[in-house]
């Protein structure tokens, strides 16, 4: 089947597939590929793009494939074996396509078995992983409604912002690690 024309494929480590079955909240089956220890869910084309930030938060653990040339889909009755096969959750309702809400259960399973999801960098739209950020002390403004004066950002974003501030006047930003 050609991917990208009618389907997107979500790929994750096999531990996520096992955790999804144990979690039991998503009634959609996935394809198990034992050769590379991955599992795959099928999404209608573009479904993941309707909720980009939740997918970006787990992008270290789960990948959405939208441009694979080909992807082998086993017969729906193939549920075991050394090659690709389907894993059906308890309470399966008959469909084989997940929707963009699959990301919620994937995030729970990734947190339980692989690590923290990313946070939002306060200065750019890219995911910020726990070990990659720095804290920046921001000046208080009567217009800002922040819970504290520090935010976490990418180190490069902090340097870029500090460079911009130098061109616009004295900076009151302080970077801490």
Assign 100 to helix, strand or coil: coil
Do residues 67 and 5 make contact, with C-beta atoms less than 8 angstroms apart?
no
pLDDT digits (tens), the chain, 177 positions: 555 568 889 999 999 999 999 999 988 999 999 999 999 999 998 888 889 999 999 999 999 988 766 788 999 999 998 999 999 999 898 999 998 889 999 999 999 999 999 999 988 889 999 888 888 876 655 555 555 567 889 988 888 877 776 655 544 444 555
Model confidence, pTM: 0.80
Do residues 58 and 101 make contact, with C-beta atoms less than 8 angstroms apart?
no
Beta strand extents in the chain (DSSP E only) = 7-13, 30-33, 38-44, 63-65, 85-87, 119-120, 127-128, 133-137, 150-154, 174-176
Assign 147 to helix, strand or coil: coil
- The partner residues of 12 in beta bridges, in order of sequence, read 39
Phi and psi at residue 21, to the nearest 5°: -65, -40
Pairing between β-strand 7-13 and β-strand 38-44 as defined by DSSP bridges: antiparallel
Q: What distances in angstroms separate CA 56 from CA 40, 64, 87, 129, 160, one per listed residue?
A: 17, 10, 25, 11, 22
DSSP element (H, E) containing 53:
helix 52-57
- The partner residues of 40 in beta bridges, in order of sequence, read 11, 31
Assign 164 to helix, strand or coil: helix
What pLDDT score does 137 carry?
A: 78
What pLDDT score does 172 carry?
A: 46
């Amino acid at each position: 089947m050609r991917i990208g024309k009618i389907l997107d494929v979500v790929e994750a480590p096999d531990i996520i597939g096992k955790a999804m079955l144990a979690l039991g909240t998503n009634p959609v089956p996935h394809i198990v590929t034992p050769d590379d220890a991955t599992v795959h869910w099928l999404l209608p084309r573009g479904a993941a793009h309707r909720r980009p930030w939740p997918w970006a938060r787990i992008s270290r653990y789960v990948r959405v494939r939208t441009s694979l040339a080909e992807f082998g889909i086993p017969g729906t009755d193939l549920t075991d074996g050394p090659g690709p096969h389907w894993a059906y959750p308890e309470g399966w309702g008959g469909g084989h396509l997940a929707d963009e809400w699959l990301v919620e259960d994937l995030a729970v399973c990734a947190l339980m078995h692989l690590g923290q999801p990313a946070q939002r960098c306060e200065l750019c739209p890219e995911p910020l992983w726990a070990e990659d950020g720095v804290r920046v002390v921001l000046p208080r403004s009567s217009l800002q409604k922040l819970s504290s004066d520090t935010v976490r950002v990418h180190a490069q974003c902090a340097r870029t912002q500090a460079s911009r501030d130098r061109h616009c006047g004295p900076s009151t930003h302080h970077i801490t690690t």
